[in-house]
Amino acid sequence: MIGMTPTDFMLLAGLIILIGFLADELFRRKYVPDSVILIVLGMILGHFTGILPPEVFLEFAGFMASIAVAIILYDTGINLDLVSTMKESGYALALGTVSYFASALFIGLIAYFVYGWDIIHSLILGTMLGGTSAAVVATIASKLPISERTRIILNIESTVTNAYALVFVLTLINFAQTGVLDPLEAARLVASSLSVAVMAGLIAGVLWLKVLTTARNRPYIHVLTLGIMFLLYALVEYIKGIGAIASFIFGLVLGNARTIQRMFFLEGDYRLSTIFKKFNDEMSFFIRVFFFVFLGIIFVPPEEMTLYTASVLIVVFALIARYIAIRVVKPDDPEIVMVSFPRGLSEAVVASLLVSMNFPQSQVYLQTASLVILLTNIATAVLLFYVIRSLYVSPKNATGQSSKG
């Protein structure tokens, strides 16, 4: 951004949005992976031209991750069916748990043998990269020709594995520094943080629905609702919950207003206008475009070949872990579930945390995470392209149902 004028910035922002729109249309029409187009655009703007220096943007990865996850999962919740989500949550939890721990174990073994680290430092990398990115999966799943059930399972699975990653990485870091390891405490933290998030999102959603029944036609109510969601995210994080899940539940409640009305015997008109959902869809699109470009901007190709070897092995064994999870859980649309394994900014944020702590090998953690993020997003996009072309004879229809041939 050095030497960039306000006019240059406006030009660049406009071009990014235009390219994002065209890439989205290309995906909807031909299933050409839009995420890869935007990530490559980010790499061009970042490392390859220096227009947007990666080291500057990496400092804002935490902010971008929080905003992207909150808005994208909030919008995802609005567009899902509440009853189906409740029904499939246990199934998604099983898929996420098997996939996460299998991936974490494989990645830990790769770090142990390729990097020569001890078991604990290897498992820190494994638990960091074991889950899928909630923001990326939600973006992809919203456009795929899959059943509502599969869409719900993918979204919940990725959100839960993000929670696993944060809790278990911090637990292992604490063990590496103090020598104290308490698996039961880690499990308690996962259960507690999930419960807090779900309850906070549910209560906030029901209360805000009451407000919307009387204020739905007031100016700026859609923006105000977004602000309430941000407040919810922050407050839940402050009380050691998972803000992303609270945002998801908040959106799920708002998007299923009539169902909530019947469940809680509420009086009044709880219909949400089509403008409400349209506003959130457009806001989510805006964030998604810049999110993928941001992923490309922060990527800096490492110089050591060992990092490439380890990262490629991580991608391969992450796919094997998905295959194992699918064999155990047996979801619908298994081919698509298997190749939906992207990593995202959350992993980069955790790796950046290690750098700020001067943790041993922190730069290797960061470079490996960045490379794995890039490779898994490209692999997911390309594999989905071939899977959809092979198994689906027509683009996603208006109801988003599977159209297998």
396 domain residue, yes or no: no
Answer whether 373's CB lies under 8 Å from 348's CB: yes
User: How large is the average pLDDT for residues 338-352?
Assistant: 88
- pLDDT single digits (tens) 70-84: 999 899 899 888 998
361 domain residue, yes or no: yes
Q: Which of 18, 19, 288 is nearest to 141 (CA)?
A: 288
Q: What is the residue range of 327's domain?
A: 12-391
The whole-angstrom separation of Cα 237 and Cα 231 is 10
Beta-bridge mates of residue 392: 404
How many domains, the chain? 1
Question: What letters, b where the CB count within 10 A reaches 16 and e where it falls short, cover 33-64?
Answer: bbbbbbbbbbbebbbeeeebbbeebbeebbeb
Beta-bridge mates of residue 335: none
Q: Please give the mean pLDDT across all residues of the chain.
A: 88
The whole-angstrom separation of Cα 244 and Cα 242 is 6
Above 70 in pLDDT, residue 404?
A: no
CA distance to 158, 179, 180, 309, 312, per residue, from 174 (Å): 24, 7, 7, 28, 28
50-55: long-range contacts at Cβ-Cβ below 8 A with a sequence spacing of 24 or more? 51/1, 51/4, 51/12, 52/1, 52/297, 53/1, 53/2, 54/297, 54/298, 54/299, 54/300, 55/300
Phi, psi of 29, rounded to the nearest 5 degrees: -90, -45
User: How large is the average pLDDT for residues 206-219?
Assistant: 85
Range in 4-13, 101-110, 133-142, 389-398 with the lowest mean pLDDT = 389-398
272 domain residue, yes or no: yes
116 domain residue, yes or no: yes
1 domain residue, yes or no: no
The whole-angstrom separation of Cα 23 and Cα 44 is 16
Q: Band of the pLDDT at 2, cuts 50, 70, 90?
A: low
Question: Could you tell me which residue, 393 or 373, shows the higher pLDDT?
Answer: 373
3 domain residue, yes or no: no
In this prediction the pTM is 0.83
49 domain residue, yes or no: yes
Above 60 in pLDDT, residue 262?
A: yes
The whole-angstrom separation of Cα 316 and Cα 9 is 39
What is the predicted pLDDT for the residue at 183? 79
Classify burial at 303, counting beta carbons within 10 Å of its beta carbon; exposed 0-12, middle 13-18, buried 19 or more: exposed
User: How large is the average pLDDT for residues 81-99?
Assistant: 92
402 domain residue, yes or no: no
- pLDDT single digits (tens) 231-247: 999 999 999 898 989 99
State the CATH number of the domain containing residue 254: 1.20.1530.20
Question: Could you tell me which residue, 190 or 53, shows the higher pLDDT?
Answer: 53
Answer whether 252's CB lies under 8 Å from 78's CB: yes
